[in-house]
Amino acid sequence: MLERVADGLWQPWLLGLFLLVGLWCTLKSGCFQLSLGTWLKASVFSLFRRRKNRGNGGLTQFQALATALASTIGTGSIAGVATAIFFGGPGAVFWMWLSALVGLMTSFVEKTLAVKYRRRARGGGWEGGPMEYMERRLGWRFGAKWFSLWCVLASLTGGALVQSNSISAALHASFGWDRIRVGTVVAVCTGAVILGGIGRVGRVSERLVPAMALLFLTTGIAVIAAHREMILPALGQIVGCALSPKAAVGGGVGYGVCAALRYGVARGVFTNEAGVGSSAMAHAAADADSPAQEGCWGMFEVFFATLVVCSVTALAILTSGVYDPAGALAAIQSGTVTGDMTGAPLAGAAFATLFGQWGRVIVAVCLLLFAFTSLLGWDYYGERGLAYLTGEESLGKPFRMLFLLTVALGSVGQVGQVWALSDICNGLMALPNLLAVAVLAPEAIRELGRDS
């Protein structure tokens, strides 16, 4: 039932809306995302320039990026990509790339608006997000409340349940560890960080995110290099299965283009969060030079999370030969899909082709780090949504306790149900934000002119 609800929400309505809003922002900006040097210079390359500390409080821009990446480079980067390929075919990767390409400008717009319409936090620093520009710029209080409600629920599902479930599944598959015990330990470790507030989350994220990304990218690229003769055939599979109405895998049977589109865009959105609006709350807390510059940081976030990290996962799976399209289709059609066929175990099998049993260990460790940092970011998003929804900052601590309880219980959930819940909450949260982004895109794009 949950999967049917998720499919009905995403196909074709939200799939089309994400792509159309991204295309609209792209056209209004004159395809600004193609000016790679410009927005990289304004974002990641600015780390090499000295920057005056204005003493405005809040997170540094790198801490804000790390916090946002902490939630975006999560299980979606490993388990989500593997799930998309298994259920949507290799063509899902093509649609994931396309959604990220137009999502670069969606991300720019929402991060720019988040900084432009943020406000001072009570304890110092900044806070904001889609709810602020919906209310303060558009006067759309209903949309802001709707976004905040589903943000809280997405924090508990896609934030807590999905991440915890993926950690416990990976560690159980690799080491045979009891899943509920894993969930309890993860909850305790998460609590040790989030109880220190957004400042501690930012400090932990800026240390963990670069380390975990480096570990995953170096080992993943090594797997692809070991099977380099399969890179071109894998790219051919990706493009061919995306554009063919019925990409055959043998005997005239194959994945439909709708399945590739649905899983590719949904997993891409889950990974980079462009248009969902969640990571805009982390960027709103940054001590930014200007709204447009923070928008460029948002573009780098999507570029790195999807076009770099997710591509490494996808190519590792497709070049290593561990994915069998015919076998996957047969299991889907007969309803015999098991947890060992998809998600993290499929990615682990790809890494094992080069590293042996250590390959599964590497994936389990990366997944543990990815999911742990995602928990940190999503707790903050849920707290911000709840504070706006109720007008009470004092509910932050009770929400953290609920979040940690959900982390512990999510470790034993069924993977299909958990991902379906996440898709539903993310989709309903994104709906008002996408509409607001579409209306305010010209205003955000004008901020580029003020910086030039």
Q: How much is the pLDDT for 52?
A: 54
Q: Which residues, 6 or more positions from 393, have their beta carbon under 8 angstroms from its beta carbon? A: 122, 387
Angle at 87 between CA 68 and CA 270, to 5 degrees: 15
Interval 43-70 mean pLDDT:
66
% of the chain residues with pLDDT over 90: 35
Looking at per-residue confidence, does 165 or 268 come out higher?
165
Quick one: which of 122, 371, 392 has its CA closest to 270? 371
Q: How far apart are CA 201 and CA 207, in angstroms?
A: 10
Interval 82-100 mean pLDDT:
88
Are the beta carbons of 182 and 172 closer than 8 angstroms? yes
Q: What domains are defined for the chain?
A: 2-46+58-451 (1.20.1740.10)
Cα 77 to Cα 53, 212, 242, 295, 344: the distances in Å are 34, 12, 20, 22, 10
Are the beta carbons of 383 and 232 closer than 8 angstroms? no
Looking at per-residue confidence, does 424 or 167 come out higher?
424
Residues 315-373 pLDDT 10s: 999 999 999 888 888 888 888 877 777 877 888 899 999 999 898 888 888 878 877 87
Looking at per-residue confidence, does 153 or 240 come out higher?
153
Q: How many CB atoms lie within 10 A of CB 236?
A: 11
pTM, entire model: 0.86
Interval 136-149 mean pLDDT:
95
Q: Is the dihedral of CA 11, 17, 22, 27 positive or negative?
A: positive
Asked whether residue 248 carries a pLDDT value surpassing 50, the answer given is no
Interval 181-207 mean pLDDT:
82
Interval 214-234 mean pLDDT:
94
Cα distance from N-terminal residue to C-terminal residue, the chain: 51
Are the beta carbons of 406 and 160 closer than 8 angstroms? yes
Q: What average pLDDT does the chain have?
A: 84
Asked whether residue 145 carries a pLDDT value surpassing 90, the answer given is yes
Q: How far apart are CA 265 and CA 199, in angstroms?
A: 32
Q: Which residues, 6 or more positions from 330, have their beta carbon under 8 angstroms from its beta carbon? A: none
- Indicate the DSSP class of residue 247: E
Q: Are strands 126-127 and 254-256 parallel, antiparallel or unpaired?
A: unpaired
- Dig out the tokens for 117 from the structure: 């319409």
Q: How far apart are CA 284 and CA 113, in angstroms?
A: 9
Residues 300-327 pLDDT 10s: 988 988 889 899 999 999 999 999 888 8
C-alpha neighbours within 13 Å on the C-beta side of residue 65: 23
Q: How much is the pLDDT for 88?
A: 85
- Indicate the DSSP class of residue 276: T
Quick one: which of 443, 269, 282 has its CA closest to 378? 282
Angle at 229 between CA 228 and CA 230, to 5 degrees: 85
